[in-house]
């Protein structure tokens, strides 16, 4: 095959050491997962938004197809040659009849599963699971996707049905019937997992995990507060790089230790008045999941003093204090405190822009990710109307770089930067 130039995408430059080193954490997680499997211990493939303490308290080793798809978005089978793994797997799924409009994560993992050799993937892939867990949170594709995988892998599936809370505003105490329902899901999952693995649910162990996750969450909230500082001590490249332990290992000591170190690093920067860059002129918000194969975009405006200061995705919400009662009831009420529809997303972004001194929004228009693109035009309209803040839409798939049009994206980014600088210079 003749040689060709690759699409110009690249990884990001991170301003924090912890961010730069997270890849080691991830690699170790994968290695330990395979070790765990080889020792005959149970493995679960889970969607990103389940309550992780369920797994850690039950001795289940979790892998996350969404995170795995993001990994595939950056890796090639052979270094510097051929397509990214995400593209290879997405093609397999599309050949089998899955529409190209379906969620990029789904196409990648489904293609990977259809490919059958689960080791034919970055980091030796994900070990064959003993069970699959999904939840309805954020998007409904996950339900069908995991249903489909469950049939292909012939592995039992549990769906945590989390009530979709629709109210005007960002947080609201959940109603008793909502808590009771989600609690029943957690209980049913624990019996399901026990039936499969023979491991009994132990509420002390659960409380231990919740203790760790609560403390970890507090650290993450502290970091979020510090990110409001000017200049911005921690950007989106750092944020997306460092969300892994909190998202995927919540309930473990290793996650807590990780964020302690991160918190200390960020605090040191804030105390010294140091920012991501020396020449900070304007701060941006990134809405949505990033383009995993082109994280370099977060450095794009740095030469002109533009930094990405905040990203709502993957960041924690404040949790109520741990109660003395049933830990499962606590988990249910904690998880249901934040609204899950646009009646929450829209006012939330206005608040976020205020708190983080945002001058502009970059809205990821992820063409196959419905919960991210659906609010895009409304977000833009509301930001302009409520805060006079301009936004730009970046159109692409989240993991499938075939849809990335460098010319189009960079033209839009440049025009957007001009708009922001003009506002800064003229005050209009």
Partner 1 sequence: MLFGGIDVGAQSVKAVVFDGKEIIGWKLNITEEAADTAARIVFQELLDDLGLKREALSRVFSTGWGASAVTFADGRSSEQVCAARGGRWLFPGARTVVDVGAEGCRVMKLTAAGAMEDFANNSKCASGTGSFIELGAVYLKVPIEEMGALSLAADGVAEVSSICAVFAESVIISNIHRGESRQRIAAGIHRSVAIRINELIGRMGVVPEIVLLGGTALNAGLVKILEEMVGIPLRLPENPRIVGALGAAIQASLKKKGKTAP
Partner 2 sequence: MNETFARYAADRHEAVKKWKEETGKKVYGYFCCLTPEEIIAAADALPVRITGTGEPLEQADIYIPPNTCPFARGCLDAGLRGDYDYLDGVVAPNSCDIIAQMHYFWKTLVPRPDKPHLIAGMDLKPYVHYIAYPEKITGRAVVPYYLEVLKIFKQELERSLKRVISDEDLSRAIAAYNEDKAQLRRMYELRKSDPPKLSGYEAWQATFSSLMMPKADHAALLSTYLDEVEKSGNKAPEGVRIYLSGSAMDQAGSDLYKIIEQSGGQVVSDDLCVGTRAFWYPLNTELPPLEAIARRSLGTACPRSTVIAPVPENRWAHITSTIKDYGAKGAIFYILKCCDARNAEFPHLRDKIKNELGLPVLFLEGDYSAEGLEQMRGRIEAFIEMIEG
Residue 346 in the binding site for partner 2 (CB under 8 A): yes
Q: Which stretch binds partner 2 (CB under 8 A): 21-29, 151-159, 247-255, 324-332?
A: 151-159
Residue 347 and residue 172 in contact, taking contact as beta carbons nearer than 8 Å:
no
Q: How far is the CB of 82 from partner 1 (least distance, A)?
A: 13
Q: Which lies closer to partner 2 via its Cβ, residue 81 or residue 351?
A: 351
Q: How far is the CB of 284 from partner 2 (least distance, A)?
A: 21
With CB under 8 A as the contact rule, the residue among 27, 32, 77, 95 that binds partner 1 is: 95
What are the Cα distances from residue 238, in Å, to 13, 50, 92, 353, 356?
A: 9, 23, 32, 18, 16
Binding mask 77-116 toward partner 2 (x if CB under 8 A, else -) reads -------------------xxxx-xxx--x----------
Q: Which lies closer to partner 2 via its Cβ, residue 44 or residue 219?
A: 44
What's the CA gap between 185 and 176, in Å, rounded? Answer: 14
With CB under 8 A as the contact rule, the residue among 23, 355, 405, 414 that binds partner 1 is: 405
Q: Which lies closer to partner 1 via its Cβ, residue 99 or residue 324?
A: 99
Residue 97 in the binding site for partner 1 (CB under 8 A): yes
Those residues whose C-beta lies under 8 Å from the C-beta of residue 43, and which sit 6 or more positions away, are 33, 36, 37, 60, 61, 62, 63, 126, 127, 128, 129, 130
Q: How far is the CB of 89 from partner 1 (least distance, A)?
A: 14
What's the CA gap between 371 and 69, in Å, rounded? Answer: 18
Residue 80 in the binding site for partner 1 (CB under 8 A): no
Q: What angle do CA 133, 64, 112 make, to 5 degrees?
A: 100
Selection from partner 1, partner 2, none that 404 binds (CB < 5 to 8 A by kind) is partner 1
Residue 175 in the binding site for partner 2 (CB under 8 A): yes
What's the CA gap between 246 and 71, in Å, rounded? Answer: 17
Q: Which stretch binds partner 1 (CB under 8 A): 217-225, 345-353, 387-395, 400-408?
A: 400-408
Q: Which stretch binds partner 1 (CB under 8 A): 46-54, 87-95, 116-124, 379-387?
A: 87-95
Q: Which lies closer to partner 2 via its Cβ, residue 97 or residue 198?
A: 97
Q: How far is the CB of 266 from partner 2 (least distance, A)?
A: 34
With CB under 8 A as the contact rule, the residue among 267, 314, 373, 419 that binds partner 2 is: 373
Q: Which of residues 127-186 bind partner 1 (CB under 8 A)?
A: none
Residue 402 in the binding site for partner 1 (CB under 8 A): yes
Residue 169 in the binding site for partner 2 (CB under 8 A): no
What's the CA gap between 276 and 287, in Å, rounded? Answer: 19
Those residues whose C-beta lies under 8 Å from the C-beta of residue 379, and which sit 6 or more positions away, are 287, 345, 346, 349, 361, 363, 391
Residue 413 in the binding site for partner 1 (CB under 8 A): no
Q: Which residues bind partner 1 (CB under 8 A)?
A: 1-7, 91, 94-97, 100, 402-408
Q: Which residues bind partner 2 (CB under 8 A)?
A: 96-99, 101-103, 106, 132, 136, 139-141, 143-148, 150-151, 156-157, 159, 161-166, 175, 177-178, 180-181, 184-185, 188, 341-343, 346, 365, 367, 370-371, 373-378, 381
């Amino acid at each position: 095959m003749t040689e060709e130039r690759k699409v110009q995408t690249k990884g990001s430059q991170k301003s924090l050491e912890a961010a730069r080193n997270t890849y080691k954490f991830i690699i170790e997680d994968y290695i330990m997962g395979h070790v765990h499997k080889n020792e005959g211990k149970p493995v679960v493939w889970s969607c990103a938004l389940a309550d992780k303490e369920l797994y850690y308290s039950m001795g289940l080793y979790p892998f996350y197809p969404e995170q795995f798809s993001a990994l595939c978005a950056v890796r090639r089978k052979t270094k510097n040659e051929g397509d990214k793994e995400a593209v290879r797997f997405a093609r397999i799924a599309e050949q089998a009849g899955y529409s190209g409009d379906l969620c990029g994560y789904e196409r990648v993992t489904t293609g990977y599963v259809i490919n059958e050799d689960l080791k034919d993937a970055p980091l030796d892939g994900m070990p064959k699971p003993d069970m699959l867990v999904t939840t309805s949170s954020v998007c409904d594709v996950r339900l069908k996707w995991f249903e489909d995988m469950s049939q292909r892998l012939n592995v039992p599936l549990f769906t945590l049905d989390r009530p979709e809370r629709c109210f005007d505003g960002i947080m609201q105490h959940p109603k008793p019937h909502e808590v009771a329902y989600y609690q029943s899901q957690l209980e049913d999952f624990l019996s399901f997992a026990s039936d499969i693995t023979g491991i009994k649910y132990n509420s002390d162990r659960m409380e231990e995990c919740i203790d760790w996750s609560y403390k970890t969450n507090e650290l993450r909230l502290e970091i979020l507060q510090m990110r409001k500082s000017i200049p911005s001590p921690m950007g989106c490249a750092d944020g997306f790089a460092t969300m892994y332990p909190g998202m995927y290992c919540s309930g473990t000591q290793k996650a807590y230790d990780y964020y302690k170190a991160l918190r200390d690093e960020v605090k040191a920067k804030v105390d010294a008045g140091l920012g991501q860059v020396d020449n900070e002129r304007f701060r941006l918000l990134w809405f949505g999941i990033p383009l995993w194969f082109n994280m370099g975009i977060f450095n794009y405006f740095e030469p002109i003093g533009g930094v990405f200061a905040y990203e709502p995705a993957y960041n924690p919400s404040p949790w109520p204090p741990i109660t003395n009662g049933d830990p499962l009831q606590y988990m249910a009420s904690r998880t249901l405190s934040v609204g899950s529809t646009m009646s929450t997303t829209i006012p939330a972004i206005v608040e976020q822009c205020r708190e983080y001194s945002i001058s502009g929004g970059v809205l990821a228009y992820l063409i196959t990710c419905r919960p991210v693109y659906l609010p895009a035009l409304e977000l833009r309209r509301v930001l302009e109307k409520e805060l006079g803040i301009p936004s730009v839409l970046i159109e692409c798939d989240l993991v499938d770089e075939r849809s990335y049009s460098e010319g189009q994206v960079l033209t839009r980014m440049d025009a957007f930067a001009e708009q922001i600088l003009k506002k800064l210079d003229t005050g209009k």
